[in-house]
Amino acid sequence: MTLFGIDLKATLTYKSFMLLYKEICTFLITFGNLGKDFVRVSKYVLRFQFKWKEIVAQSARFGVDSLPISLTIVGMTAIIIAMQTAPELAKQGLGDYMGLVSALVMVREMAAIMAGFAIINMVGASFASELASMSVTDQISAMRVLRVDPVEYLILPRFMAGVIMMPFVTVVAATFGLILAAFVSKWTADISLLNFLTSLWQGLYVRDIFIAILKASVFGGTIALISCSCGYSTRGGAKEVGLSTTRSVVWSFLAIAIWDYIFAAIFYL
Amino acid sequence: MGIIVKNISKLFADKKVLDNISFSVDEGETLGIVGFSGSGKSTMLKVISGLLYQNEGEIIATNQELPHCKEETLDNPPLTHDSKGESLYCNVPIHDDRKNIDIAMTFQYSALFDFLTVFENIAFPLTERKEFRHKYSEDQLKQIVAEKLKLVGLEGIEDKYPPELSGGMQKRVSFARAIVTNPKIILYDEPTAGLDPVSSTVIEDYIVHLKNELKACCIVVTHQLSTIKRATDKIIMLYDGKVVFSGTTEEMLRGTTPYTKQFVSASLDGPMDILHSTE
């Protein structure tokens, strides 16, 4: 393809547009696959048709794999927030409100989102690469020839594990974060544990806890579905396995951020 | 049960990978599909197994045992009748009746589930497929798996994981998994690729053994002459998605046409342009 003697295909503009075109195609294909897999998973969920053995196995894996890193990340976030906030509040004579601030920050936002980010890296990436490897080595094709639905056997249990276990991880991580925040507040601003606890109860609303659990459940299901869908639709070889895993992580991050905004807009606006 | 493949065409984007392919395989017969890499052999198997759908043509399972064949839904009239004149066997389009037609397929790289043990791999269709779920007790499963492993000459490896096995053993385990439901149609995708000559011979012997044992209709995709010679009864040769030869294994090996002659002699000279192929 030439114009005024210039090979258009060799120009940077053409290459940039082609790259953009490919990215848009990949986005649409991924989005389409995700929608298709969501519909197929929903059918099984609505029929209450579960492979409990697989769900238990995947749930155990989801919880065990993600808990240490989730606790670490949420714990560190709680420590940092307490280190920076407690002395300032104490200076303003508002040290007694530290528990309330910690509860609002942890329960409403930090525990679910930070645990979500940890789980994307720890569990989501592992789901995506596992299913992608199975796909490129014909294991998923073999399952289809054996007339076992890979969506029911592979995606559904992981999705359910995400929906069930993510709230558990979030609740444990939030509790751990609040305990650490209490000790850090005592250490950095001399806020007594009793004052912290009293104030914490004032900021801990049952509604917030339910919203946090619902949000965590949605995050867990979304991470599992995106990761499995990206892995399941992989074709090619080792390079594509890596690309699918990266895509699953990027998409999960984006989805979590969007869900977080939706929850905030619905429940706190 | 046999297979009749009628005028199958398959396109990927604008490229015709299979172009009007027709052949038939009877019960107890093994057809070899041969050809150079990229000629459409594996695609043909995937179409038969239902992993891919054809753009044109149909695949018929012959002599399917169906107690209530509905003539109007069939492509062909029933083949045989019982004394009351009711249909016993009929021909059905394979993808319309996948529930009743058990097709087994072994893959080039075995495709064993590497997170399951050999036992779990072989028992997989019996424990996970809808119609078999909860049908067999743990003891029955153990017995069936042991029988199938014995059939492929591998006993006592139930607790091993696939990565702990050699390539040849993995292939044989994948054979055992494929035949655990006693299928009547078995598809082999390059069963001896990447194996040493002795292991290849073992695999070829098992292909023949399983065909006789199960009275199955088998299709073997291969480009290895030893497999063609030992394991097949008749051959179709594909080139550029078209059938360029169809005949018995003997005729193929004699090189009676320019295509078979080039293939058997592994020569660059002949009607098949491999070097400039775009595949």
**What's the token pair of residue B45?**
């198997």
Which stretches in chain A have pLDDT values below 50?
A: none
DSSP notation for chain A = -EETTEEGGGSHHHHHHHHHHHHHHHHHHHHHHHHHHHHHHHHHHHTT---HHHHHHHHHHHHHHHHHHHHHHHHHHHHHHHHHHHHHHHHTT-GGGHHHHHHHHIIIIIHHHHHHHHHIIIIIHHHHHHHHHHHHTTHHHHHHHTT--HIIIIIHHHHHHHHHHHHHHHHHHHHHHHHHHHHHHHHHH---HHHHHHHHHHH--HHHHHHHHHHHHHHHHHHHHHHHHHHHT--SSHHHHHHHHHHHHHHHHHHHHHHHHHHHHHHH-
Say yes or no for a CB contact (<8 Å) between A148 and B103: no
Across the range B167-176, mean pLDDT stands at 89
Q: Is residue B220 part of a domain?
A: yes
Query: Which carries the bigger pLDDT value, residue B231 or residue B14?
Result: B231
- B125 interfaces chain A, CB cutoff of 8 Å: yes
* Burial status of residue A253 (CB atoms within 10 A of its CB: 0-12, 13-18, 19 or more): middle
Q: Is B131's pLDDT higher than 90?
A: no
pLDDT at B73 over 80: no
In A164-198, which positions are buried (b, 16+ CB within 10 angstroms) versus exposed (e)?
bbbbbbbbbbbebbbebbbebbbebbebeeebbee
CA B158, CA B147: separation in Å to the nearest integer? 11
Q: Is residue B136 part of a domain?
A: yes
Q: Which pLDDT score is estimated for A252?
A: 95
Report the domain count for chain B: 1
Q: Which residues of A touch B128 (CB under 8 A)?
A: 146, 148, 153
Q: What is the CATH number of the domain that holds B182?
A: 3.40.50.300
* Tokens, residue B99: 């529930």
| Distance, CA of B2 to CA of A75 (rounded, Å) | 65
Q: Is residue A18 part of a domain?
A: no
Answer yes or no: is A30 within a domain.
no
Look at A145 and B108 and tell me if their CB atoms are within 8 Å: no
| Calculated CA dihedral for residues B251, B257, B260, B264, nearest 10 degrees | 80
What was the pLDDT predicted at A123? Answer: 93
Helix (H) or strand (E) holding B243: strand B242-248
Q: Å from A220 to nearest chain B CA?
A: 23
The answer as to whether A40 is a domain residue is no
Q: Give the distance from residue A141's alpha carbon to the nearest chain B alpha carbon, in angstroms.
A: 7
Beta partners for B90? Answer: B64
Asked if B113 is an interface residue toward chain A (Cβ–Cβ < 8 A), one would say: yes
Question: Considering only CB atoms, which chain B residues are within 8 Å of A146?
Answer: 124-125, 128-129, 177
Which residue among B103, B112, B128 sits closest to A153, beta carbon to beta carbon? B128
Give residue for tokens 């043990």. B117
- The CA distance from A57 to A254, in Å, is 28
Domain for residue B92, yes or no?
no
Of A143, A145, A148, the CB nearest to B103: A145
Does the distance separating the beta carbons of A137 and B51 come in below 8 Å?
Answer: no
* Chain A residue closest in CA terms to B177: A146
pLDDT > 50? residue B222: yes
Which DSSP category does B52 fall into? S
Give SS3 for B140. helix
Grouping H, G, I as helix, E, B as strand and the rest as coil, residue B185 is strand
Q: Is residue A178 part of a domain?
A: yes
Element containing residue B219 per DSSP (H, E)? strand B217-221
- Best probe of the A interface among B42, B95, B97, B113, by most A CBs < 10 A, is B113
Interface test with A, best of B109, B121, B128, B180 (most A CBs within 10 A): B128
Residue B129, min C-alpha distance to chain A (Å): 5
Report the C-alpha gap between B147 and B139 in whole angstroms: 12
Q: HSE-up of B238 (CA within 13 Å, CB side)?
A: 30
Of residues B134 and B279, the one with the higher pLDDT is B134
Contacts 24+ apart (CB under 8 A), B253-262: B253/B225, B253/B228, B253/B229
3-state SS assignment for residue B196: coil
Look at residue B72 and tell me if it is in a domain.
Answer: no
Range of the domain at B147: 26-53+99-265
Distance (Å) from the alpha carbon of B46 to chain A's nearest alpha carbon: 9
Report for A52-61, B72-81, B199-208: range of highest mean pLDDT: A52-61
Strands B185-189 and B80-81: what pairing?
unpaired
pLDDT digits (tens, 9 = 90+) for B83-119: 555 555 666 666 666 666 788 999 988 899 999 999 9
pLDDT at B279: 45
| Model pLDDT, residue A166 | 95
Contact B51 A145 (CB under 8 A): yes
pLDDT on residue B89: 61
Rounded Cα–Cα distance for residues B247 and B237 (Å)? 9
A139/B103 touch (CB, cutoff 8 Å), yes or no: no
Q: Give the per-residue pLDDT at B80.
A: 55
Instruction: State how far Cα B274 lies from the chain centre.
Output: 26
Question: Is B87 domain-assigned?
Answer: no
pLDDT of residue B214: 81
Chain A residue with the nearest C-alpha to that of B101: A147
Residue B48 is assigned to a structural domain of this protein: yes
Q: Answer whether B65's CB lies under 8 Å from B253's CB.
A: no
User: Which domain does A122 fall in, by range?
Assistant: 50-268
Q: Report the distance separating Cα B232 and Cα B223, nearest Å.
A: 12
Domain annotation covers residue B34: yes
In a domain, residue A203? The reply is yes
| Interatomic CA distance for residues B278 and B37, integer angstroms | 11
Nearest Cα of chain B lies from the Cα of A222 at a distance, in angstroms, of 24
Residues B80/B62, Cβ–Cβ less than 8 Å: no
- Is B112 in contact with A139 (Cβ distance < 8 A)? yes
Q: How far apart are CA B162 and CA B147, in angstroms?
A: 19
Chain B residues close to A129, C-beta within 8 Å:
none
Which value, to the nearest 10 degrees, does the dihedral of the CA atoms of residues B21, B24, B28, B32 take? -30
What is the total count of domains within chain A?
A: 1
Could you tell me if residue A38 is inside a domain? no
Identity at B98, one-letter amino acid code: R
Asked if B250 and B243 count as a contact pair (C-beta separation under 8 A), the reply is: no
* Most confident among A177-186, B26-35, B69-78 (mean pLDDT): A177-186
Nearest to A146 among B46, B108, B124 (CB): B124
Interface residues of A toward B, Cβ cutoff 8 Å, are 134, 137-139, 141-148, 153
Q: Among all residues of chain A, which has the CA nearest to that of B111?
A: A139
Looking at every residue in chain B, the average pLDDT score rounds to: 83
**Residue A64 Cα, gap to closest chain B Cα (Å):** 18
* pLDDT for the residue numbered B272: 80
Chain B from 216 to 275: CB within 8 A of any A CB: none
Q: Does B123 touch chain A (CB under 8 A)?
A: no
Tokens of B59: 């695949």
